[in-house]
Amino acid sequence: MRTPRRWWLRRSLWFRITLIATTITLALLFGLAVLAGRALGPLLIQSVDDELTAVLAPATAQVAAGDQPARPSGTEVRVLDTAGGPVDGDPPARLGAEDIRDLKAGLPVRVGDAPTWRWLGSVVTAPDGSQRLVAVGAPMVGFGAAVADGSRWLLLVAVVGGLVAMIATWLGVRAALRPVGRMRRSVRELPPGRRLPMPEADDELRALASDFNALLTRQEEVSERLRRFTGDAAHELRSPVASIRVQAEVAVTNPDPELAQETLTDILDESERLSALLDGLLTLARSDAGELPAAEPVELVTEARGAAGRLPDGSPPVRVSAVVPQAWALATPAEVELVLDNLLRNACRYAETQIVVSLLASRSRVRVVVDDDGPGVAREHRGHVFDRFYRVADDRARTSGGTGLGLAMVAEAVRRRGGRVTVGESPEGGARFQVIWRRHDG
């Protein structure tokens, strides 16, 4: 069973706009017709009163002067005493006692049914000092029919106006949505790498086309990055897997225990490299998926000392230099640990004698600076060291085995928290990596 909402949502935008506009127009016109029909009777009565008032004023002046009042065509003028009796020589007026009281009070009076008469009156003093009631009246012939016919015509005009509004809305919406139809056809036929043509008018459709083209650009960038990431990941995974397979085959086919032990050691090293590569890929995949845990205050001085203590034996000594006793950053402990561990391991790969970790704090930012005294990073590589799977030549390093993902994970983790990471030249002659986080005020 279809609900009204479901039925409504299944209609076209063209139909919905036309129906809404027509309904509102009809409701407004019908309301105006009803109000105008109700006001038609009082307007007609007011027009009769205005005509009677125009006759009453000169008639009272003539009676006050002792003359007979003029009697315009279509209007009856009577001169009565205060009791309602005629003093103008005509038959008694068709006015009751209550009508006479109202006329003397200056109130209009309606008398009779077919036709209805409208009367106005005013009391004046004759030259002999007597009080006279001057009354003027006119028949309201066709009043009821005029009100009824006027109301019906007003309703008919409302219906016609609604139909005209429906047709005008239908044509207007059709003309307005025609460019949308052309845009839909263009989208269906759009080949890869192409963009929607921009409408000439600077309106909402142009903004929609611009936003859609921007969406296509971002989608292509994501697809290209995914293809490049997939290809690089496959290439990087192929090397350790092939090495492990070859070494395992050697260990199986060669009965020499010493060679087997050496081969197993190499297999363990390659397995650790493969595990680190997979961990890096999973971390970047979660980042690309938009997983972002809530930030919390993390104390960087303690974290830096902890990262230095986690370095393997034989690594160059690490000196942690903190300008402030504590430096709090807005991140998560896991993110800070990932950044510091990868920066220090990268520094260990290239450092000759020592690594210096400096922690600085300003009003809104905290900085972690990692300096080493190795060969540094050449200028042509500085714009790419944070790219995924990008590696500087291994012969520059003290040790090999990097996956090309460590610095990429550092850049991604810092970027997601609104910070940035840069690489430059260290005063020690090697590389300087600087990470900037937002500071927690506490």
Residue range 356-376, pLDDT digits in tens: 999 998 888 999 999 999 888
End-to-end Cα spacing for the chain: 58
CA distance 138 to 119: 7
pLDDT of the residue at 396: 41
pLDDT of the residue at 403: 61
* pLDDT tier for residue 287 given thresholds of 50, 70 and 90: low
CA distance 168 to 18: 9
pLDDT at 239 over 80: no
**Beta strands 328-331 and 109-111, pairing class:** unpaired
CA distance 194 to 294: 39
* Radius of gyration, CA atoms only, the chain: 49
Angle between helices 143-188 and 204-253 (to 10 degrees): 30
The model's pLDDT over 108-129, given as tens digits with 9 standing for 90+, comes to 888 877 678 888 988 998 888 8
* pLDDT tier for residue 290 given thresholds of 50, 70 and 90: low
The model's pLDDT over 47-56, given as tens digits with 9 standing for 90+, comes to 888 888 888 8
Average pLDDT of the chain to the nearest whole number: 81
* pLDDT tier for residue 408 given thresholds of 50, 70 and 90: confident
pLDDT of the residue at 436: 93
Question: Mean of the pLDDT values across residues 64-87?
Answer: 86
Higher pLDDT, 397 or 209: 209
Closest CA to 15 of 134, 237, 246, 170: 170
CA distance 87 to 52: 21
pLDDT at 393 over 60: no
* pLDDT tier for residue 397 given thresholds of 50, 70 and 90: very low
pLDDT of the residue at 245: 76
The model's pLDDT over 23-48, given as tens digits with 9 standing for 90+, comes to 888 888 888 888 888 888 888 888 88
Higher pLDDT, 226 or 440: 440
pLDDT at 149 over 80: no
Side chain identity, residue 268: L
CA distance 105 to 135: 12
Q: What is the pTM of this model?
A: 0.48
pLDDT at 412 over 90: no
CA distances, 50 to each of 47, 54, 221 (Å): 5, 6, 81
Closest CA to 270 of 255, 248, 292, 297: 248
pLDDT at 391 over 80: no
